Amino acid sequence: MEFYDVINKRKTTRQFLDKTVDFEIIKRILEAGNKAPTWDHNRNWQFIVLRTDKEKEYAFEYAKSIADKFGAEKYLNFPRPYPITLGQKMYGYAVPKQYTMLKEAPYVIIPLFKAKELNGEYVSKLNPFATIWCVIENIFLAAIAEGLSCSMRIPLNNEHDIVKAKLKVPPSYMIPVFIGVGYADPKEPNLEQYKPDVNKQIRFGRWK
């Protein structure tokens, strides 16, 4: 697929077809992740791959509880002093799918990056975290190039430590995201997104 087609086709998918994915494709996607820039030259990230319903049910109990208790109708129709934003519409759509978008994906990739904890004192202290997000974006784009698509859930607050303990991740690693990979259901609704105007974003030389 042409590079800009891949970029333009990438979207977060939360509804997958019940269709098997060849694991060789998953390996190619992970190889693409491994081509990401690395801050410490080590590329010492790891990938936990969940394949079975049992594995996914076990790992994502927390995500299920969040999705189950969210009242989408109430959230979306709550009287607001201003029109509902596209972000709020997306939130109302996405939260109920936080579990199914992982459970129904044939594979869930959980990248791990080496860090005991995050230190945001300076931007540069976040290099381990920044690096793994380069890996993650390569994974998203490679999935699209392979005709697949990805869901993503960022572990919410202590969900991180809960899943880390369940999956027996060593203390020296952290989990940035859970990525569901599968064939996108073409029937999934496409919610409107803001489209920034690059001409209004560019500032030559300095802010103003």
Ligand X SMILES: Cc1cc2nc3c(=O)[nH]c(=O)nc-3n(C[C@H](O)[C@H](O)[C@H](O)COP(=O)(O)O)c2cc1C
Contacts for 76 with CB less than 8 Å, ≥ 6 apart: 84, 88, 89, 92
Question: Is 23 or 158 the residue whose CB approaches ligand X more closely?
Answer: 158
Q: Does 164 bind ligand X (CB under 6 A)?
A: no
Cα(181)–Cα(139) distance, integer angstroms = 10
181 φ, ψ (degrees, to nearest 5) = -125, 130
173, amino acid identity: Y
Q: Does 11 bind ligand X (CB under 6 A)?
A: yes
Considering only 148, 153, 164, 184, the residue that binds ligand X (CB under 6 A) is: 153
Characterize the bridge pairing of strands 107-114 and 46-50.
Answer: antiparallel
Task: Name the token pair of 88.
Answer: 């709020």
Question: Is 118 or 154 the residue whose CB approaches ligand X more closely?
Answer: 154
Question: Is 98 or 173 the residue whose CB approaches ligand X more closely?
Answer: 98
111 φ, ψ (degrees, to nearest 5) = -70, 150
Considering only 30, 112, 145, 152, the residue that binds ligand X (CB under 6 A) is: 152
Task: Name the token pair of 124.
Answer: 């540069």
Considering only 12, 44, 88, 127, the residue that binds ligand X (CB under 6 A) is: 12
Cα(184)–Cα(16) distance, integer angstroms = 5
Q: How far is the CB of 139 from ligand X (least distance, A)?
A: 13
Of 37, 182, 20, 12, which is closest to residue 97 (Cα–Cα)? 12
Q: Does 28 bind ligand X (CB under 6 A)?
A: no
Nearest-Å Rg of the Cα atoms of the chain is 18
Question: Is 52 or 157 the residue whose CB approaches ligand X more closely?
Answer: 157
Q: Which of residues 36-95 bind ligand X (CB under 6 A)?
A: 90, 94
Tell me which stretch binds ligand X (CB under 6 A): 21-29, 44-52, 146-154, 198-206: 146-154
Q: Does 154 bind ligand X (CB under 6 A)?
A: yes
Question: Is 30 or 94 the residue whose CB approaches ligand X more closely?
Answer: 94
Site for ligand X, rule CB under 6 A:
11-12, 90, 94, 98, 152-154, 193
